[in-house]
Amino acid sequence: MTVQEKTPVRVEERRLSHARDISRPGFIVKLILMALVNAFGLYGILAAWAQNSMGVVAFLVAALIIANWVYFSKRAIPAKYLYPGLVFLAVYQLYVMANTAFVAFTNYGDGHNSTKPAAIEQILKTSDRRIEGSPTYPVAVLQQGNDLAFAVVRDGDVQLGTADEPLAPVDNAESDGDRVTAVEGWSVLTISEIQQLQAEVLGLRVSLSEDPADGWLRTDNGSLAYVARSTLTFDEATDTFTAEDGTVFTADPNRGLYVSEDGRQLVPGWRVIVGFENFTKMFTDSRLSGPFFQILIWTFAFAILSVATTFALGLFLATVFNDPLVKNRRLYRALFILPYAFPGFLAALVWKGMLNREFGIINQTLLGGADINWLGDGTLAKIAILGVNLWLGFPYMFLITTGALQSIPGELTEAGVMDGAGPWRRFRSITFPLLLVSVAPLLIASFAFNFNNFSLIYMLTGGGPNFPGAPVLIGETDILISMVYAVAFESGVKQYGLASALSILIFLMVGFISWLGFRQTRKLEEIL
């Protein structure tokens, strides 16, 4: 048979093979799943486009194109298994790390959480007062999800506006005289509901038009709205605000603020790149550097002591109950695992109650009514944390050391006995080195976990007792990760840039120590 005769046969074979593939149930299921993936992906692209998030649009487009190629190609079999994990890695790890690194070099936080045009608009709207002689409108406060809006009857039409969209006529709305009663897609808030959202409602400004000079609607009671206008005048040419008393506020591009000559500032500001300011602030600000170094030392001490104490107790119990002469070993082992099976954050709350100064079972029952401030004194609180963490952590070490001990060949121990080595000598020269070969990587992982053991600190002491005079709400038992949380969320003014800088430092510290630890564990392999 010639080549010309073989070619049509091969084409026909491929056509029949393709026909069989697309008729299989597995292909139909794959087709349905990929249709759903493409539908959700297209929805995400349209939503990101509406929010002007071009980076997200580009990522979703690329991800969908690659996904369709991978799952409809016969050549990309390994990629079919790797691709979902790579996508999740990019979204939940690489993007988060890159965004955290970027935020660490900005002033992002309360008062600096938006762009400069948004800050200018907000400054104008928050420094306003009622226009003399302006009309008063019966207003309806509406809600749609997390968005609030005002609806009024103006020029004979029902008009609706939000903080981002000026007043505009709407269809499918109902009114009773001058008051709006219903708008399709929105819920009209009652008086009690308005009171629950009082701060948001009183802070809402709805522009009359696209021109800020026309003013905006605001309300003082949720029932009537009036037209207000800013007491500041913004000059776009000079990039300055001028107050009614003649004070001029000039933009400071390095700080993201409008500042007057006498130091007064207009809020909010906007996000700008501040370089290494967040990193140096922890060392140069005397109010912050002292508590920071104390927290840094305590973090290392807590992580090291936690690993050392839990490993020592776990190894001791594992050695004792690995002896065949001990009866009911399985029962004891099951009992020792119970603290590990109980959720850690719940155990911390239980211990917090037991350590209560006035009503805790430790003071009242075990110590006969003693008045010991376990969680209110800095030193005692640290001891309490280490004790509770010992209770929570030793079962894990007990499990891994038990498994490691059982994997050590008995012939080695017998050889030590034949050489005349005693129990302690055999443990120190044979058992323990071989044990470290197996558990050393797990000890490094345990160190990294305790270095960032946020839940125990937060649930047991909340980081307290607090440092007096510190610019952020941090305390003597805080570790670096709980300090990050306090800076970002619990200190009144949220400082995401400073918190991100702390996160970067934690990442570098844990990464360096882990690298150093794994490098040292290579020496243990020489034992084998």
pLDDT of residue 217: 94
Tokens standing for residue 116: 């400069």
Q: What's the average model confidence in pLDDT over 345-356?
A: 94
Q: What's the average model confidence in pLDDT over 295-320?
A: 96
Instruction: Give CA separation, 283 vs 108, 286, 288, 486, 492, in Å.
Output: 20, 7, 7, 18, 22
pLDDT of residue 296 exceeding 80: yes
Instruction: Say which CATH class 128-230 falls into.
Output: mainly beta
Q: What's the average model confidence in pLDDT over 163-189?
A: 92
Q: Share the mean pLDDT of the chain.
A: 89
pLDDT of residue 238: 94
pLDDT of residue 437: 87
pLDDT of residue 83: 94
Closest CA to 271 of 114, 481, 161, 71: 114
pLDDT band per the 50, 70, 90 thresholds, residue 72:
confident
Residue 285, SS3 per DSSP: coil
Residue 505 carries which side chain, given as an amino acid letter? L
Q: What's the average model confidence in pLDDT over 146-159?
A: 93
pLDDT of residue 12: 55
pLDDT band per the 50, 70, 90 thresholds, residue 9:
low
pLDDT of residue 464 exceeding 70: yes
pLDDT of residue 13: 56
Q: What's the average model confidence in pLDDT over 420-435?
A: 85
pLDDT of residue 14: 57
Residue 326, judged by CB atoms within 10 A of its CB (0-12, 13-18, 19+), counts as: exposed
pLDDT of residue 287 exceeding 80: yes
Quick one: CATH architecture of 109-127+237-275?
Roll (3.10)
20-50, pLDDT tens digit by residue?
Answer: 555 577 778 888 899 999 999 999 999 999 8
pLDDT band per the 50, 70, 90 thresholds, residue 293:
very high
pLDDT of residue 3 exceeding 70: no
Least trusted range by pLDDT, from 126-130, 290-294, 321-325, 448-452 = 321-325
Q: For the chain, give every domain's residue range.
A: 3-103, 109-127+237-275, 128-230, 283-527
pLDDT of residue 109: 94
Least trusted range by pLDDT, from 4-8, 310-314, 416-420 = 4-8
The overall pTM is greater than 0.85: no
DSSP labels, 103-123: HTTB--BTTB-S-HHHHHHHH
pLDDT of residue 413: 77
Please, how many CA atoms are within 13 Å of residue 171, restricted to the half-sphere of its CB? 0
pLDDT of residue 410: 80
pLDDT of residue 138 exceeding 90: yes
Q: Please, what is the angle between helix 95-103 and helix 496-521, to 10°?
A: 120
pLDDT of residue 88: 94
pLDDT of residue 17: 54
Q: How much is the CA Rg of the chain, to the nearest whole Å? A: 33
pLDDT band per the 50, 70, 90 thresholds, residue 243:
very high
- Report whether 250 contacts 240 (CB < 8 A): yes
383-422, pLDDT tens digit by residue?
Answer: 999 999 999 999 999 999 999 998 888 887 778 778 888 8
Q: What's the average model confidence in pLDDT over 95-110?
A: 94
Fold of the CATH domain 283-527: MetI-like fold (1.10.3720)
